[in-house]
Amino acid sequence: MTIQFNNETFRDDYSFKNSDRAIARFPFPFHEDSYMYSVNMEQHRGGPEGSVYEMRFDVDEHYVSEMQDRAIVLDQDPLRCQSLPHMTLAGWDLLELIMVSKSEDYPDLFELHRDGNTWRWINKPMGIDDTFTFMDESTLPYGPMEYITRQAQGDFAVLDQRDDMLWMDAGMVTTQADWSLDFDIGMNFFEWHAPVPKAHEMGIFKRALKFLLNVQQGAPARRLNWTMTVNPLLDTSPENYHKWGVQKTELTPENIGSKQHLRVELQTFFRLPRSNALVFPIRCYLIAFQDIVRTPKWGRRLHRVIRDLPEELATYKGFIDNRPMMLDYLGQFDDGLPTSPGVWPDKDTEPALHK
């Protein structure tokens, strides 16, 4: 497989765009015409060919540009990447996991050559060819977690596991849906989820924690989460809210189709072998409303989900003010016909829009 990497930006002129292939493989998150929280975990053992679920760490056309955007964020705010002292071993675990997975899953793009503890890592899309000593930090330009996550799409929360609890003790977080690693560092699972409405009362987090504590080596898991973002911004952080929050007011009926994006997170969970820590990669996929509605099933369904979403959730996800405008736009693509179950586009069987 050869990937043509886009040259694009996630800031300023927002030249980000999805190719037809990227739109077709977008991880649409709604399996029915309504949405409510659930733990919705499944095993992360591949998926349909070409889908974002196929590989352990999906690499797509946005890879190189996303890594450039991450470098800009880190340059302006180094605290987006932090690792408490006891998490270095987990950083090596993560480096190994990503290097092994990418070199096996994308042999034309990445190579890993191991001779004892002397490792050579080749990342062709980014033009990197480094030789280093595994477990010797002094042989890398950054700590192991920072080194490898500057070369891997998505945010990474590295969670220590102790006393039947998970702790946010390390991470690389530059493409986040309005949460801050610097604020959450050292917090436990319940503490960092405290702002989420409703889910605590529903017992979601207790069940999710139980599940995550038992994610075992060799048996990774995954789930999807979603929110809304105006403009294709990767860095919607609290630190930069003063820059992007105001952009939510710039939405108009004319520009909503291209400016309003559905933001989907593919969250995966891997037990790390040496440290017994849990890594939680959070991979962000963006798609403009005008690209979603090209798939009739997705257009119909997104309208119904947004229309019927409880007010607290629309508020928490930050689009309550723009919801009426979203519904005006999406309503044009909902003719009331039934949709098929599941997330897949069903292009051959789903009827065209009758409007």
Partner 1 sequence: MSAAPQKAKAGAEKIKVIVDAVVPLNDLVTRFEFKRRDGGAFPTFSGGAHTVVEMQDGDITRLNPYSLMSDPSDTSKYCISVRRDDEGRGGSLFMHRNVKVGDEMTLTYPVNLFSLDLRAKKHVFLAGGIGITPFKAMIAQLERLNGNWELHYACRSEALATYAADLTEHYPNNVHIYYDDQKQAIDLDGLLAGQPLGTHIYICGPAGMINWVHNTAEAAGWPSDNVHSEEFLAPQPGKPFQVRLCKSDKVIEVGEHESLLEAIERAGVEAPFLCRGGACGQCETDVVEFDGEFIHRDHWLEPEDHESGKKIMPCVSRFIGKSLVLDR
Residues near partner 1 (CB under 8 A) are: 27, 29, 31, 40, 42-43, 45, 47-48, 51, 53, 84-87, 89, 135, 160-163, 210, 214, 216-219, 222-224, 273-276, 342-344
User: Residue 155 pairs with which residues in a beta bridge?
Assistant: 282
List, edge to edge, every strand of the sheet that includes 42-43.
42-43, 221-230, 260-271, 278-288, 155-162, 165-172, 81-83
Torsion angle of C-alpha atoms 181, 68, 285, 265, degrees rounded to 10: -20
- CA–CA–CA angle 258, 263, 267 (5° rounding): 160
Q: Is 323 an annotated catalytic residue? A: no
Helix (H, G, I), strand (E, B) or coil at 79: helix
Q: How far is the CB of 219 from partner 1 (least distance, A)?
A: 5
Nearer to partner 1, 161 or 227 (CB): 161
Q: Report d(CA 95, CA 343) in Å as an integer.
A: 32
Helix (H) or strand (E) segment spanning residue 89:
helix 88-105
Nearer to partner 1, 14 or 134 (CB): 134
Nearer to partner 1, 15 or 217 (CB): 217
Q: How buried is 222 (Cβ within 10 angstroms: 0-12 exposed, 13-18 middle, 19+ buried)?
A: buried
Task: State the catalytic residue, choosing from 56, 222, 223, 263.
Answer: 223
Phi, psi at 186, each rounded to 5° = 85, -5
Nearer to partner 1, 64 or 145 (CB): 145
Q: How buried is 163 (Cβ within 10 angstroms: 0-12 exposed, 13-18 middle, 19+ buried)?
A: exposed
Nearer to partner 1, 238 or 342 (CB): 342
Which phi-psi region, left, alpha or beta, contains residue 75 (left: φ > 0; alpha: ψ -120 to 50)?
alpha
Q: Which two tokens stand for residue 67?
A: 């890594």
Nearer to partner 1, 40 or 76 (CB): 40
Q: Which residue's entry shows tokens 């409880």?
A: 310
Q: How far is the CB of 3 from partner 1 (least distance, A)?
A: 21
Torsion angle of C-alpha atoms 181, 152, 217, 170, degrees rounded to 10: -20
- Catalytic site positions: 223
